[in-house]
Structure 1
């Protein structure tokens, strides 16, 4: 399961804040009277989290029947593929013809919040779902712009870790996973031989690229936006961060040149089949198992940081995950919030995150034995201590696409044998910054 796919709808997102100023009635049918106090039905758009839409239905429909039994409210489920989800949400926001409750990628929260189409989770709304303090702070920080009421609440959480092949490490005489970048490069060179590589990267995947660009920039003490929300893509520290990442192919040669074209989880396959000894990925366990790799074959550690790092430079991941939002114009506000309360209850958080191999953002659910595996414990620690949200700005979606594409272009140049210099990295980032729409 991947939670970090980004639909190619940046042009629509850029204009959405201007067009979604007046929304009509929700397409979710209630009691027919518009009475929020006693809704009879809700419409729910769920994102595709499992191996297929059908798998998601098998996971979700029994849970939705529990909600109906408890409340008398029937939930009409539609599982929306990731390739369609953002476009569907944008169309619903502009037309007003949308669901009552929906999943959104958490990195879209601020962009969708800026449209005004989502119900703000103020103190009153949080009170109706059991309180804000039930959620990990990092996951709440990924639910909308700082200083504003969140536009959604966390539902499923994920974060990045460094996966390493225990057998290949042992064969190379490496006793522990690298904790610093110097150690990772040194280990990567020891592990690169005989057609095998130290690490696999997904250089053609814009979402993967921007996630690592964000983390590496934080480790260099840099951000991609200043305090006013103005893009700062091409500063010297941002350039150094991107160059460090691309140098895995360009300079250090610890990743295969062919990784520059990877865009569909091929790096996971390379790791699972022993072609690469390390992998930076979100909750990869289920995917690795599908390729025949057992949990005892690999370990999970935090992504390395610079030697002597402190403060924000200790960031090892962006906060990944899915948020649960309510359309502001729903006729079923009370029922929608009851549904959010149900989906974020301890029992449902355990059942759903267990099914999807993700981490519950509701802290009391994390104590369940289902999340006691070494992999999930390691990732939960990262989520709670060293993960930070991507920039919560209105143009975040465009940032993801433009910077992700800039890094993709640099990987392609590196694979072609072209020199990757500070100047070439800066040129790509400057081009990306110039394409950002005005705030």
Structure 2
């Protein structure tokens, strides 16, 4: 959810972090008794009374203000239990990574923060975040409380996680039941060929088959990752070197941009969508389908009822595909992390323990329509609705984590805007070809730092 100018600032900040090799333990912190190593035992609630910690939360609801209202009610519970006050700031996705990277270079960050789980390995590489070793996990009840998929997206393989799972999500294909019935389509598509064919039937009278968030870099990355994975390709090789210009990667990007370019099943205006306009179009009947993560509360805010739509896994290239060819979503979600430089480490750990407690996981994920990554909370009947059961099944069976490599955030900040520019070309009536896609990806790859 980044503009081009934001992407430039993010790249600069990321490059600075990489170049300086900064860690927050070196540029922040202090000698407070509370600033102990990750193996410290959790402090008794009474000993934390009077402390204040700062929490940067990601935007999960319909607006920043809505999130402030939702979270303040929950944070007040924590304050009542622990005596620790929480200074909350909700940050939009267009600014969050930029703010985090700036904090890693200045040492002036929050005590606790949310990160998109796709950034875990990149931020882990800076040394800015407290590693969650077994001793740290013991302060919040243990690592085995969390689902395997969510832990796999919390940092690079073979290293202690850089964060703790907070909200889990997966992509599904949302479809409007009435629009499908009116078009004579009996069942939702299971392959991309079927989706395009259905989309053409549904594109009529100012309505479109599908809505896409073409100017949203993160959304672009998530979808082209899946489309490449279905072709057996990754965006980095085993050594962490980018492989953006491979034929499968080119085909993946072209397939996605072709929803506007050649298939014409998405509106040209979708090339400018950057902040959840896709949900609005779907919920108001302008588009019959969308690919989205855990969207029920946002859809409901527009007056659309759960019985008006269905959710199924995102299509694959061929019916019944398995393995990489059967991947239908990246492992989506939000992790909660502690800055290494915090002067209130025990209070920060107590806060993470509260946010990942079973009761709080039920409360927060229930309000946001996401899936609790805590196993005990996930089994609650409230998370067994038809849409969440489908998305939970995707997480368990057909989701894969984005590359957990140090340069993942640069991948997002370069390839995401490259796809955005191709969508803009398509909307302007310019031809989008294999050559033009490869050229855009080549330019992105040339700007990647050495692995």
The TM-score by the shorter chain falls in which range? Answer: over 0.9
Alignment: residue pair count: 433
For the residues of structure 2 that align with 1:173 and 1:180, how far apart are their CA atoms? 18
Answer whether contact 1:349 1:362 (CA < 8 A) is retained: yes
Cα RMSD (Å): 2.1
Does 2:343 align with 1:331? yes
Q: How many angstroms does 1:123 deviate by?
A: 1.4
Match of 1:349 among 361, 365, 374: 361
Is contact 2:35-2:345 (8 Å) kept?
no
Whole-angstrom CA distance in 2 between matches of 1:286 and 1:355: 8
Change (3 A) 1:195 1:54: closer
**392-401 or 43-52, which deviates more:** 43-52
> What is the deviation of 1:217?
0.6
Are the counterparts in 1 of residues 29 and 35 from structure 2 also a CA contact under 8 Å? Answer: no
What does residue 39 of structure 2 align with? none
* 1:409 paired residue number: 421
Native 8 Å contact 2:155 2:162 kept in 1: yes
Tell me the TM-score normalised to structure 2 length. Answer: 0.90
The residue that corresponds to 1:124 in the other structure is 135
Determine which of 305, 310, 321 is the counterpart of 2:333: 321
Structure 2 residue 108 is matched with structure 1 residue 108: no
Separation (CA, whole Å) in 2 of partners of 1:129 and 1:345: 8
TM-score normalised by L of structure 1: 0.92
Task: Select 1:67's aligned residue among 71, 75, 78.
Answer: 78
**CA 1:44–1:257: 2 relative to 1, 3 Å:** closer
- Residues 197, 255 of structure 1: 8 Å contact kept: yes
Alpha-carbon distance change, 271 to 43 in structure 1, aligned in 2, over 3 angstroms: closer
Partner of 2:18: 17
Could you tell me whether the CA contact under 8 Å between 1:26 and 1:100 is conserved in 2?
A: no
Partner of 1:296: 307
Mean CA deviation greater in 63-72 or 316-325:
63-72
Deviation at 1:121, TM superposition (A): 0.8
Q: Which of 324, 332, 343 does residue 312 from structure 1 map onto? A: 324
The answer (yes or no) to whether the contact 2:35–2:342 under 8 Å persists in 1 is: no
Deviation at 1:348, TM superposition (A): 0.5
> Is the partner of 1:269 in helix, strand or coil?
helix
The Cα of 1:33 is off from its aligned counterpart by 4.6
The answer on whether the counterparts of 1:199 and 1:276 sit within 8 Å (CA) in structure 2 is yes
1:255 aligns with 2:266: yes
Q: Which runs of 5+ in 1 are unaligned?
A: none
How far apart in 2 are the matches of 1:263 and 1:335?
Answer: 36
Structure 2, unaligned runs of 5 or more: 37-42
Pairwise CA distance, 1:327? 1.4
Using the alignment, how far apart are the partners of 2:89 and 2:262 within structure 1?
Answer: 47
* Preserved CA contact (<8 Å) 1:26 1:99: no
In the alignment, what sits opposite 2:384?
A: 372
Q: Deviations over 1:94-148 (max 9, x none)?
A: 2223222211121221111111011111111112211112212121111111221
Change (3 A) 1:371 1:34: closer
Change (3 A) 1:48 1:187: closer
Alignment of 1:423-438 (within 5 A): 423-438=435-450
Structure 1 residues 410 and 56 mapped into 2: Cα distance closer, same or farther (>3 Å)?
Answer: closer
**Of residues 46, 56, 71 in structure 2, which corresponds to 1:45?**
56
SS of the counterpart of 1:104?
Answer: strand
Find out whether 1:228 has 2:231 as its counterpart: no
- CA change 1:136–1:34 in 2 (3 A) is closer
Asked if the contact 2:35/2:346 (under 8 Å) is kept, the reply is: no
Q: Deviation of residue 237 (structure 1)? A: 0.8
**Contact 2:117 / 2:154 at 8 angstroms: preserved in 1?**
yes
Task: Quote the offset at 1:421 in angstroms.
Answer: 2.0
Per the TM alignment, residue 353 of structure 1 is displaced from its structure 2 partner at its CA by 0.9
Is this contact kept in 2: 1:26–1:98, CA < 8 A?
no
Report the counterpart of residue 219 of structure 2 in structure 1: 208
Partner of 2:187: 176
1:422 pairs with one of 434, 437, 447: 434
What corresponds to 1:143 in structure 2? 154
Residues 191, 154 of structure 1: CA spacing in aligned structure 2 closer, same or farther, 3 A cutoff? same
**1 CA distance for matches of 2:407 and 2:85?**
36
CA distance in 2, matches of 1:192, 1:117: 48
Does the CA-based 8 Å contact 2:217-2:417 persist in structure 1?
yes
CA distance in 1, matches of 2:35, 2:238: 42
Match of 1:242 in 2: 253
Cα distance in 2 for residues equivalent to 1:35 and 1:171? 62
